[in-house]
Structure 1
Amino acid sequence: MNTPLVAVTTVVAVLLAGIGALSTVLRRRIGTAHLAAAGVLELLLVVQGVLAVVGLADGHRPVELTTFLAYLGSVVLLPVAGLLWARTEPTRWAGTVLGVAALTVAVMLWRLVDLWAVTRG
């Protein structure tokens, strides 16, 4: 796992959560800013996923490999699921749905870093 990339991705996720919260407070549905931020977040997550898979191919083996792979797959899919759910939400709570998904991504990323750090010796 690339920790600087995780930090940048976390910042983007928190910004997306903030945009979602703002739209909820303003009683607005999600818009272009939400879509753009979610797209950037997804791009960063895919890059991080590719780097993790390359690390696994190079022989890095976390102790909890199954848990690591489950988190990795879930964290990449979570923004897409949150965005799809938010797009179908007809009320102002769409921003909250997207914000919760973004904050969940931020937490899961740091859990992935913890899992990656513990390897079989």
Structure 2
Amino acid sequence: MLDVLTLVTGVAALLLAAWCGWAAYRDQPTKDWHFIGMAVVSVLALVQLVVGIVHVARGEEPAQGTTIFVAYLLGAFSCVPAAGCMSLGERTRWGSVTVAAGGVVLAVLQVRLHDIWGG
């Protein structure tokens, strides 16, 4: 798959995690700016999902299987939006912690996607 896209998505997810972690450290909930950051990271994950599906549709095979690859793509795409929705329900510092955790999970999923593809 595209190594650059995987790297950019992982780094953006870690930056989002650090930003929201800093907000949690300062005892602040997620704010509008955090949701803009989540949208940017989610768009990167959406682009990765589309690119991954196009690669599979063209006949390219992930090293560890197509089913697990697509499952990880879907999980990576839904990770940050799910954390953002949960942070809306918890308007304390723990909402920021939830988004920070979602960013870390997305970064780990990027590493795993790279491994599954055969990197």
What TM-score bracket applies, with the shorter chain setting the length?
over 0.9
> For 1:46-79, what per-residue CA distance to the aligned partner results, in whole angstroms no more than 9, with x for missing partners?
1111111110011111232221111111110111
Matched with 2:66 is 65
CA shift at 1:90, angstroms?
A: 2.8
> For 1:56-108, what per-residue CA distance to the aligned partner results, in whole angstroms no more than 9, with x for missing partners?
01111123222111111111011110000011113211111000011100010
1: CA distance between counterparts of 2:91 and 2:77? 25
2: CA distance between counterparts of 1:36 and 1:11? 16
Matched with 1:91 is 92
What does 1:97-116 align with in structure 2 at a 5 Å threshold? 97-116=98-117
CA shift at 1:18, angstroms?
A: 0.7
Instruction: Find the residue that maps to 2:93 and give its secondary structure.
Output: coil
Matched with 1:37 is 37
Residue pair 2:72, 2:109 contacting (<8 A) in 1 also: yes
Matched with 2:75 is 74
Residue pair 2:48, 2:73 contacting (<8 A) in 1 also: no
The amino acid across from 2:46 in the alignment is V
User: Which consecutive unaligned segments of at least 5 residues does structure 1 have?
Assistant: none
1: CA distance between counterparts of 2:50 and 2:109? 16
CA shift at 1:37, angstroms?
A: 0.8
1: CA distance between counterparts of 2:52 and 2:93? 36
CA shift at 1:13, angstroms?
A: 0.5
The amino acid across from 1:93 in the alignment is W
User: Which consecutive unaligned segments of at least 5 residues does structure 2 have?
Assistant: none
1: CA distance between counterparts of 2:10 and 2:110? 8
Give percent identity, aligned residues only: 30
